[in-house]
Amino acid sequence: MRTLPASFGDFRCAHCRMIVSSAHVLSGVNNRNHCPYCLWSCHLDLFSAGDRLSACKAPMTPVGLTMKKGRNKYQRLENHRPRGELMLIHECTDCQTLSINRIAADDDSASVLAVFENSLTLTPRIQARCREYGILILNSADHEIVQVQLYGCCAEIPALSWT
């Protein structure tokens, strides 16, 4: 992966107010625009990742997960199962634009899993918007895929025991 500097610096999350580092060495991404703690984003890009041309700049809520865009689709299927890189789906709280963002190396896995679990009850409006954008939302049948992507295993992650 290239190690280019991020297109803008550290920032404070508009949702949880945590300070977010844009350092590539921490996140593994070149264009950081979402918080690794709560996963909220900011509507910065207009045409492509890192262009920072959007005039909106409103907060974007994480609404679901999909798989990385292939040549013509957001999700590649193999034996009717999605494969590829896990991606966050964000919806702008102002203009309702949807965007897809790479999960960064320092993103909180429990927060990503919570987004997935919350997406299982998405409103019909958001589901329809995703279809309009050609975004295939991961669903309950994809639970194992999400587990493997986040934790490298297919079994449920056991609770930590301090005894």
3-state secondary structure of 11: strand
- CA-to-CA separations, 121 to 37, 80, 109, 117, 124, in angstroms, rounded: 22, 22, 20, 8, 9
Burial class (CB in 10 A: 0-12, 13-18, 19+), 131: exposed
Tokens of 67: 């798989």
Is the entire prediction scored with pTM above 0.85?
no
Q: Of 6 and 37, which is predicted with more confidence? A: 37
For 49-74, write each residue's pLDDT tens digit. 766 767 788 899 999 999 986 554 44
Tokens of 17: 């107010």
